[in-house]
Structure 1
Amino acid sequence: MIAAAVLVASPFVGALAGEGSYLPIPSGRFASALNYEDAPGKQPVAAYSMMRTPVTNAEYLAFVKANPKWQRGRAPTVMAEKRYLSHWVGPLELGDTAKPDQPVVQVSWFAADAYCAAQGARLPTWTEWEYAAAADETRRDARSDRIWRERILRWYSRPSNTALPRAGLQPANVYRVQDLHGLVWEWTEDFSSMLMDADNRNQGDADNARFCGAGALSMNDRDNYAVLMRVAMLSSLSAEATTANLGFRCVKDTP
C-alpha cells in the first residue's frame, strides 16, 4: 500500500494549491536501461520524495519574485542563455503563452537547481528519475510491457510547437506521481555525466539538435527508445541551455 502523500507547504506566495507536493518513493533495487560498467545489474536505490508534477509557471513566478537575481534579464548569461523564460510576457508576467498551471520551460539547469535548493530540495539524479518513471498505474516496473512503452512513445510524435497541457492531467503512477512521461523533458542533477554527443546540425529549429544524439551510450535495454531519446537530449545540453519543452521537478532525501 502506497503511503499517503506528504504535502510540503511551498515557501513561495502565489504557488498553486496542491502543486509542490512531495510524494514518497520507496527504496528498492533497479536495473537501469543504461549500461554502467562499474554498476552492472540491479542496484539499490535509497528512498526519497519526489514532486507530484513538474514545477509550474505559477510556482516559478513566485520563486523569481522572491529571488530577483533569477528574473529574466537579471540572471547571468553564463547561467541562463538568452532564451531563458522568453515565452513569458515580462520578467514578472506570464501572459497567454505561459499559463499558471502549465509546466515552466525555457529554464536552465542552473536556474532549476537554484529553485530546488530554495525549497530545501535538489534535482533528481538520472537513476532516481528513471526509477520513478519506470512505474505505471499499478506496477513499480512496467518497462517490459510493450503496450505501456507504445503509449509513452506516442508523446514523441506530438509536434513540439503545440501548446503544453497543464500539469497533473495524466493518470498517476503507482507512487501517485504524474507527468513523468508525455508532458515535458526534465532536467536531472547529473545530466552532464551522460556521454552521448549532440548531433551537430545548424539548420531549422535551434532545439532540433538537442533532441538527437550521434553517440551510442551503452544500453542494457536498446528497445527502450523513450529512455534513449531522453538521454540523447540531456547529453546534448550545457547547463545554461534552455528549450521550449524542457522543465524540471525536485526531490528530497528521506531522512
Structure 2
Amino acid sequence: MTGQDTEALRLRAVTALTAARERTALLTSCVEDSELTAQHSPLMSPLVWDLAHIGNQEEQWLWRAVAGGEALRPEIDSLYDAFEHPRATRPSLPLLAPAEARAYAADVRGRVLDVLGDTRLEGRPLVDAGFAFGMIAQHEQQHDETMLITHQLRKGPAALSAPPPPAAHSSGPVAGEVLVPGGPFTMGTSDEPWALDNERPAHTRIVPAFFVDTVPVTNGAYQAFMADGGYREERWWRPEGWAQIREHAIEAPLFWRHDGGRWLRRRFGVTEPVPADEPVLHVSWYEADAYARWAGRRLPTEAEWEKAARHDPAAGRSRRYPWGDADPEPVHANLGQRHLGPAPAGSYPEGASPLGVRQLIGDVWEWTASDFLPYPGFRAFPYKEYSEVFFGPAHKVLRGGSFAVDPVACRGTFRNWDLPVRRQIFSGFRTARDAEPV
C-alpha cells in the first residue's frame, strides 16, 4: 500500500467516524436528559444506553484491540454488552448518566483519532484497509438508526426536523414490474474493504427468471389490501402471523389510526394524513407476506433482490450499487437521515438498476422471503456475535436500507435481519412473481 493510499484510507476513516458522531450528537442533544434516561418502549434501550454503548464498542475495538491501549472503563463492559442485558431490562442497570456518557465517548474518540495517524492499515486482518475503523463507523451509524427508531416511538412534541424528500420525477410512466432474466450472477463480495462478515464471500447463484415490482409497495396499494379485509381474512396469513394479528388487534401498519374516514399516521411527533404515493412503512414480515399473497404474488428471495439490485446483464457482472460502483450521492437514493421519511414511489431515477428497478437503496428496508443464513464459505470475523449467532429460521432478511441508514452502512451486498414480528423498524417491501416458463 502506498503512502497516498494510506492517507486516503485515514481520511475516509476520520470522515466516517466524524459523520457518525455528529449524528449521534444530534440524536442525543435534541431532547432533555430525562428523555435520554427514559425507556420509551420495552422494545428499545434508553437513548443514554446507546450513547455509552457506542463509546464502549469503540474503546474495545479501536483503543484496546487496534491501538493496544489500556482499558479505560473495564467495569462497564458488562453493562453495555448487548447480549448480557436484553433491552427491556437496561433501564434498571447502573448506567452512566448523560453527561458522563458523553464525556466517556468523547474521551475514547479523542484517543482513537490521536492514534489513527500512527496506525498501519495493513498487516493484520483487523486493520487491513482500515476495516476496524469502518466497522466501528458502521456500528455507530446502526445505533443512530436504532436511536431514530426510539425517537419515533417516544411520545410528545417533535424533537427532530428535516426537509421533505424531493418530489418524484420521471421522463415517462414507470412500469409496474420488471423482468429479471434467469441465469447466474455473483452474490456477496470478497473485495469490498468494509463489508461485514455476513456479506462474504462472493459466490455464484443461479436464479430463475422472475418479475419484481419496479418500486416498493405504496401506502395506497396497501390500503386496498386493508379495505378488502386483508386484516380480517385468515387465508392470507401464516399461522404465526395470524396469531399476532389477533392477539394484538392489529388492523393497520404501526403508527396509523383511522379518523373521520381517513387514515392518519404519527411520524416523529407529528400527526398527518397517510400519503398514498409513499412506500408503506412500519409493517412486519407477516404483514408483507400477507399482502403479497392477497395480491397473488410473493416476497422476493434475498438472492432475487440482490440480482435485481446489482446484476448488470450487459456487462455480465455485479455492481456495488444499482446505479454503478460510485458511492451514493443525493441524486441516487434517500439515505443518511437527510429526510425523516421515504420519498414518493418512483423517485430517484438516477439510482435505478440496469433493468430499471427503482429505490432499491434507501427509503425503506425491504423484507425478503429468506431466512438469515450464512453464505457458502462464511467465516465469522471479527466476532461470532455480529452475525453467526443470528443465523437460522428465526430471523428474516431485509435489504436495501432506509432513509435512516447512512451510506457507510448501506451497499448492494449489505444484509440486515430481524424477527418477522418487528414493526417499529423502518421496514417496507416489494413483491415478485415467477416468470412464465418459455
Length-normalised TM-score, structure 2: 0.40
User: Which residue number in structure 2 is paired with residue 200 of structure 1?
Assistant: none
Q: Tell me which amino acid in the other structure corresponds to 1:177.
A: V
**1:226 aligns with one of 410, 417, 430:** 410
User: Which residue number in structure 2 is paired with residue 85 of structure 1?
Assistant: 253
**2:182 aligns with one of 21, 27, 30:** 27
User: Which residue number in structure 1 is paired with residue 356 of structure 2?
Assistant: 176
SS in 2 for 1:90: strand
Unaligned regions of 5+ residues in structure 2, if any?
1-172, 190-196, 234-240, 265-271, 375-383, 392-407
Q: Tell me which amino acid in the other structure corresponds to 2:430.
A: R
Task: Report percent identity of matched pairs.
Answer: 25
The number of residues matched between the two structures is: 208
- Relative to 1, partners in 2 of residues 1:89 and 1:137: Cα closer, same or farther, differing over 3 Å? farther
SS in 1 for 2:433: strand
User: Which residue number in structure 1 is paired with residue 263 of structure 2?
Assistant: 94
Q: Verify the 8 A CA contact 1:57 1:94 in the aligned structure 2.
A: no
**2:207 aligns with one of 42, 45, 48:** 45
SS in 2 for 1:186: strand
User: Which residue number in structure 1 is paired with residue 224 of structure 2?
Assistant: 62
Rounded Cα–Cα distance in structure 2 between residues aligned with 1:253 and 1:216: 30
**1:239 aligns with one of 420, 428, 431:** 420
**1:141 equivalenced with 2:318 (yes/no):** yes
Rounded Cα–Cα distance in structure 1 between residues aligned with 2:262 and 2:326: 38
Displacement of 1:175 in angstroms is 1.2
- Deviation string 1:69-90 (CA, Å, 9 cap, x unpaired) is 259xxx8562597796133232
Displacement of 1:147 in angstroms is 7.1
Structure with bigger helix share is 2
User: Which residue number in structure 2 is paired with residue 128 of structure 1?
Assistant: 304
User: Which residue number in structure 1 is paired with residue 288 of structure 2?
Assistant: 112
User: Which residue number in structure 2 is paired with residue 209 of structure 1?
Assistant: none
- Relative to 1, partners in 2 of residues 1:179 and 1:187: Cα closer, same or farther, differing over 3 Å? same
Rounded Cα–Cα distance in structure 2 between residues aligned with 1:121 and 1:162: 30
Displacement of 1:182 in angstroms is 2.0
Q: Verify the 8 A CA contact 2:309 2:322 in the aligned structure 1.
A: no
Q: Tell me which amino acid in the other structure corresponds to 2:263.
A: L
User: Which residue number in structure 2 is paired with residue 194 of structure 1?
Assistant: 373
SS in 2 for 1:104: coil
Displacement of 1:111 in angstroms is 1.0
Structure with bigger strand share is 2
Displacement of 1:239 in angstroms is 1.1
Rounded Cα–Cα distance in structure 1 between residues aligned with 2:296 and 2:175: 12
User: Which residue number in structure 1 is paired with residue 343 of structure 2?
Assistant: 165
SS in 2 for 1:163: coil
Rounded Cα–Cα distance in structure 2 between residues aligned with 1:179 and 1:62: 22
- Deviation string 1:21-58 (CA, Å, 9 cap, x unpaired) is 2211111311211689xx97322111100001000000
- Relative to 1, partners in 2 of residues 1:68 and 1:26: Cα closer, same or farther, differing over 3 Å? closer
Q: Verify the 8 A CA contact 2:310 2:412 in the aligned structure 1.
A: no
SS in 1 for 2:286: helix
- Relative to 1, partners in 2 of residues 1:77 and 1:107: Cα closer, same or farther, differing over 3 Å? farther
Q: Tell me which amino acid in the other structure corresponds to 2:188.
A: A
Q: What does residue range 71-82 of structure 1 map to in structure 2 within 5 Å? A: 76=242, 78-79=244-245
Q: Verify the 8 A CA contact 1:136 1:142 in the aligned structure 2.
A: yes
Rounded Cα–Cα distance in structure 2 between residues aligned with 1:183 and 1:148: 20
Q: Verify the 8 A CA contact 1:30 1:131 in the aligned structure 2.
A: yes
Q: Verify the 8 A CA contact 2:300 2:432 in the aligned structure 1.
A: yes
Rounded Cα–Cα distance in structure 1 between residues aligned with 2:280 and 2:387: 30
**Higher RCO (Cα < 8 Å, 6 or more apart):** 1
- Deviation string 1:77-123 (CA, Å, 9 cap, x unpaired) is 62597796133232873332531000001111111111111122100
**2:327 aligns with one of 142, 146, 150:** 150
User: Which residue number in structure 1 is paired with residue 87 of structure 2?
Assistant: none
**2:386 aligns with one of 181, 196, 215:** 215
Displacement of 1:148 in angstroms is 3.4
